[in-house]
Amino acid sequence: MRVCVIGTGYVGLVTGACLAYIGHDVICVDNNEEKVKLMKSGQSPIHEPGLPEILTESIRQGKIEFTTDIATGVKHGEVLFIAVGTPSLADGRSDMRYVEAVARSIGESLTDGYRVIVNKSTVPIGSGDWVRMIVLDGMAGQSNDQIEFDVVSNPEFLREGVAVYDTFNPDRIVVGSDSDRALQLMQELYTPIIDRSFAENKTLAPVPVVVTDLNSAEMIKYAANAFLATKISFVNEIANICDRVGADVKEVARGIGLDSRIGSKFLQAGIGWGGSCFGKDVSALIYTAADYGYSTEILKACVRVNELQRILVVEKLQQALKILKGKTIGLLGMTFKPDTDDMRDAPALTLIDQLSRLGARVKAYDPLVSQSGLRQGFSNVIVETDLERLADGCDAVVLVTDWQEFLAIDYAKMLRLMHHPVIIDARNFLDGKALKALGYQYIGIGR
């Protein structure tokens, strides 16, 4: 099938490259010329494991192209994906300017034939009908009555760091539309994934496809992220009680996670959630509910607990070191999660701000950020290029991101370089007993 993906961020580029890899003819559109040149050369502008290989093979097979010309993409595609950003505004609303601009451009560029316009971006409930209206506005002045289109909601459930895996091994595919014709086309598009032809385990049953209306499909995305964010905030609240009563939250999480009604995923206590999705989507859902006169008390508490959890790490440092003014604090990890270079709403940024405000010097090391040009772009932090420089002269080290390579650090050597042997494990990721045996004052979350 002929596919056009507009927007080549984490969602758009992964979607386009994976659809090309399974055999579709894909054109990806982005208005950033430098980015398009980079992708044409086979390089990925984002760090995502497995993506460079998928991209290179799709280009070699002639299945994917890149352009800045949206009209070229629209003319090519039977299925047109809108995959541009919808960042949060100050009041919690989603910023829909980019979606609006793309929808209008699609309308201006439509030619003869039938198209399915797919909202892949996370958009507020009701956006399907709104996008239809904007596309029609873009078509104003065209007298061609041979143009037909339907709008579909097809939310993504990709996790950064494993997005390629998630594309080929989804828990479900959600498609919302009131058009049987559009739904049939989407089923055809995803058939190789539904049939698990490209799955890691090809013996599993076909991927469940949730076929529903536009509004419900949009709500599924928000509800899923809101629930996961709430689950993390819940276990963090339990961890804070554990700290006070002498229980170990890792044991508690293991015990409750074995209950099939609860499950073990997203029960890892720590510094809280970050990234581009949870905060944005929970805020958007709170704002939408308020539009209809409903106050979302659980979701508001979820956000508040997450904010406090970041400050909790600073409080633990104060308890261990007393005065932070004039102290040097090292951060292990900066990105919001491992295997990505994404710094959006990363907990490390909150720590840097809070510690700087209290007069501490902050140093940081991250496997990706430290080796990239990004390391020059941060204020109030010295981004070190190796672990020895990070540890040198530190009064405490905080593990912020649970990169696997941090398990293999020579912590004995690091200890000899530090002023004080304090380590805050903000992800409960390290072996606390082993670190204590080396002479560290090990402090976890809820342990």
Q: List, by residue number, the catalytic residues.
A: 277
430 assigned to a ligand binding site: no
200 assigned to a ligand binding site: no
30 assigned to a ligand binding site: yes
d(CA 292, CA 286): 10
327 assigned to a ligand binding site: no
66 assigned to a ligand binding site: no
57 assigned to a ligand binding site: no
Question: The sheet that has 113-119: what strands, in order across it?
Answer: 64-67, 25-29, 2-6, 79-82, 113-119, 147-153, 173-176, 209-212
126 assigned to a ligand binding site: no
Q: Please write down the HEC assignment for all residues of the chain.
A: CEEEEECCCHHHHHHHHHHHHCCCEEEEECCCHHHHHHHHCCCCCCCCCCHHHHHHHHHHCCCEEEECCHHHHHHHCCEEEECCCCCECCCCCECCHHHHHHHHHHHHHCCCEEEEEEECCCCCCCHHHHHHHHHHHHHCCCCCCCEEEEEEECCCCCCCCCHHHHHHCCCCEEEECCCHHHHHHHHHHHHHHHCCCCCCCCCCCCCCEEEECHHHHHHHHHHHHHHHHHHHHHHHHHHHHHHHHCCCHHHHHHHHHCCCCCCCCCCCCCCCCCCCCHHHHHHHHHHHHHHCCCCCHHHHHHHHHHHHHHHHHHHHHHHHHCCCCCCEEEEECCCCCCCCCCCCCCHHHHHHHHHHHCCCEEEEECCCHHHCHHHHHCCCCEECCCHHHHHCCCCEEEECCCCHHHHHCCHHHHHHHCCCCEEEECCCCCCHHHHHHHCCEEECCCC
353 assigned to a ligand binding site: no
337 assigned to a ligand binding site: yes
140 assigned to a ligand binding site: no
d(CA 365, CA 95): 33
289 assigned to a ligand binding site: no
280 assigned to a ligand binding site: yes
204 assigned to a ligand binding site: no
413 assigned to a ligand binding site: no
269 assigned to a ligand binding site: yes
270 assigned to a ligand binding site: yes
The binding site for NAD(+) consists of 30, 35, 86, 122, 160, 280, 344
The binding site for substrate consists of 157-160, 221, 266-270, 274, 337
The binding site consists of 30, 35, 86, 122, 157-160, 221, 266-270, 274, 280, 337, 344
